Structure 1
Amino acid sequence: MNHLLKFCFLIIFLVTGYEGHAQQKPIPYDSLRTVLEGIYEVDQGIRMKMGAVKPEDMNDFFREMQRVDSVNQVKVLAILQRYGWLPQSKIGEKAANGLFFVVQHAPAKVIKQYLPQMQKQVKLGEANKTYAAMMEDRLLMYTGKKQKYGTQATSMLTEDGTMAVWPIKDPVNINKRRKEAGFKDTVEENAKRMNAKYNPDEKLPAQPVKFN
């Protein structure tokens, strides 16, 4: 029996020792930087083509953009599931932006899962607080709640399909919050940039809006 117990303890030691060794393997930041920088180029590249798309081709363009986003999400989620939200000082600003944009363009369930990780990195000075505010606003909009920073607009609020800023919580202090989050413009200026109508008294839709 003693020999059996010793053998069991030996197996446990070897297994746990191997797992500990595997967990201590260095994170390949340089390789991840290269991958994420490439993903950033693809994410932004497809969107830079939007202005040249003819109205009759817009549906095909959006389908292609969704395809690109889906491919990018598979790659980025594999990274996030293995390493978590990576600190910007380790991968560089461009790669960090690639991480952000892919999650920002993902479904609500993905944003909900990884926004807390990004916010934690913001507190450590390792993620862009303005981008985190944008992601928080998007999640609030996707879940039918009022946004905090006025970064999100949609055509689903208007009968004619024109863009309108999603309803805002505490609109009186919106520009103060924007400044604290690092935004350089006001909510009014941002609405103009998005070619969206801004109504500080905008109400939430009576019926839930399905975004994705």
Structure 2
Amino acid sequence: MKGILIFAALVLSGMISSGQTVIHQSLKNKLDTILIMDQGIREYIVGNPTETRKDTISKLLKIPRDSLDRNGWGIMNSIDKMNLAKVEKIIAHYGYPGKSLVGEPTNTAVFFVIQHSDKIPFYLPLIKKAAETKELPFRYYAMMLDRKLAGEGKEQVYGTQVFSQQITDPGTGEKKMFDYVVPVRDPKNVNKRRKDAGFDSTIEENALRLGVTYKPYTYDEIYKITGQKK
């Protein structure tokens, strides 16, 4: 997936409290580290950072640049597994560590770790409750719901998920990548749903941010293009 992940620059430029009253400082510190690891490795791999930025990320992650350059994806997988184990223990003890407990943007840490795991179906109700009680902005629940639906081969609701698949060009026979926004339920009203959920961009703008031109494909059209079976 193309494009820079939304929280990477904010997180790696230094965690901010904006004068917030943090109830649990030690937990906040732990989650800040988790958030930096989660977003930092992703910015390094897919965010197209400058050489200076790579040096900064390497120092924050405490991982040598040559290791990140040589085995970035493997390191990311290891970080994700480690972070998931940590946040599951945190959830078991505190429930969802939201805004009132750890402040912002620290309250997004558990969301990102789960979003990058295979535990979305299990934890989605927890994320939904956190969003409904305003412990987490609702748009994060929307993103996780979309990822769950997309992973199940169903239409997403808010148009946040983009897929990339290798296909064979029928004209030339050459292999190429086909990037697309996963089919959306009721696409005519998707931007209204996005606005209601708290997104500040349209589905078209979000797709461009991710390097994709939005087209309202159906799954039947996707299957035809990719040669997949239903």
Distance (Å, rounded) in 2 between the aligned partners of 1:193 and 1:158: 23
Match of 1:147 in 2: 156
* 8 Å CA contact 1:165, 1:198 repeated in 2: yes
Matches within 5 A, 1:33-52: 33-50=28-45, 51-52=48-49
**Per-residue deviation at 1:34?**
1.2
Q: Is residue 117 of structure 1 aligned with residue 126 of structure 2?
A: yes
Separation (CA, whole Å) in 2 of partners of 1:174 and 1:96: 26
For the 8 Å contact 2:108–2:136, the answer to whether it is kept is no
Stretches of structure 2 that go unaligned for 5 or more consecutive residues are 1-22, 55-67, 169-175
What secondary structure, in the 3-state scheme, does the structure 1 residue paired with 2:178 have? coil
Could you tell me which residue of structure 2 aligns to residue 69 of structure 1?
80
Question: Of 195, 206, 217, which aligns to 1:179?
Answer: 195
Q: Within 5 A, what are the aligned runs for 1:161-200? A: 161-200=177-216
Decide which structure has the larger Cα Rg and report it: 1
Q: Go from structure 1 to structure 2 and tell me whether the alpha carbon gap of 1:149 and 1:156 turns closer, same or farther (over 3 Å shift).
A: same
CA RMSD of aligned residues (A): 2.2
Equivalents in 2 of 1:122, 1:157: separation in Å? 36
What is the deviation of 1:152?
0.5
Q: Summarize deviations over 1:129-153 as a string: whole Å, max 9, x none.
A: 1111111111111111111111010
Cα deviation for residue 164 of structure 1 reads 1.1
**Bigger strand share:** 2
Comparing both chains, which one has the higher relative contact order based on Cα–Cα distances under 8 Å and sequence gaps of 6 or more? 2
Displacement of 1:190 after TM fit?
0.7
Query: Matches of 1:158 and 1:180 in 2, distance apart?
Result: 36
Q: Residue 103 in 1 paired to residue 127 in 2?
A: no
- Residue 83 of structure 1 is matched in structure 2 by 94
Percent identical: 38
Q: Is the 8 A contact 1:158 1:164 kept in 2?
A: no
Q: Following the alignment from structure 1 to structure 2, what is the Cα–Cα distance between the partners of residues 146 and 59?
A: 37
Residue 119 of structure 1 and its aligned partner are, at CA, apart by 1.1
User: Does structure 1 conserve the Cα–Cα contact (< 8 Å) formed by 2:182 and 2:217?
Assistant: no
Displacement after TM superposition at 1:201 (Å) = 2.8
Per-residue displacement from partner, 1:94-126 (whole Å, max 9, x unpaired)? 22111111111111xx11111111211222121
Contact 2:150 2:156 in 1 (8 A): yes
Q: Could you list the per-position Cα deviations for residues 75-109 of structure 1 after superposition, in whole angstroms to 9, with x for gaps in the alignment? A: 111111232212311111122111111111111xx
Name the amino acid aligned to 1:163.
Answer: D
**Over 6 Å off, 4+ runs:** none
How many correspondences in the alignment? 176
User: Compared with structure 1, are the counterparts of its residues 104 and 80 closer, same or farther at alpha carbon in structure 2 (3 Å cutoff)?
Assistant: same
Q: CA deviation at 1:162?
A: 3.3
d(CA) in 1 for partners of 2:187, 2:167: 20
TM-score by length of 1: 0.75
Distance 1:71 1:194, change over 3 A: same
Q: Which one has the bigger helix percentage?
A: 1
SS in 1 for 2:73: helix
Query: What TM-score, normalized to structure 2?
Result: 0.70
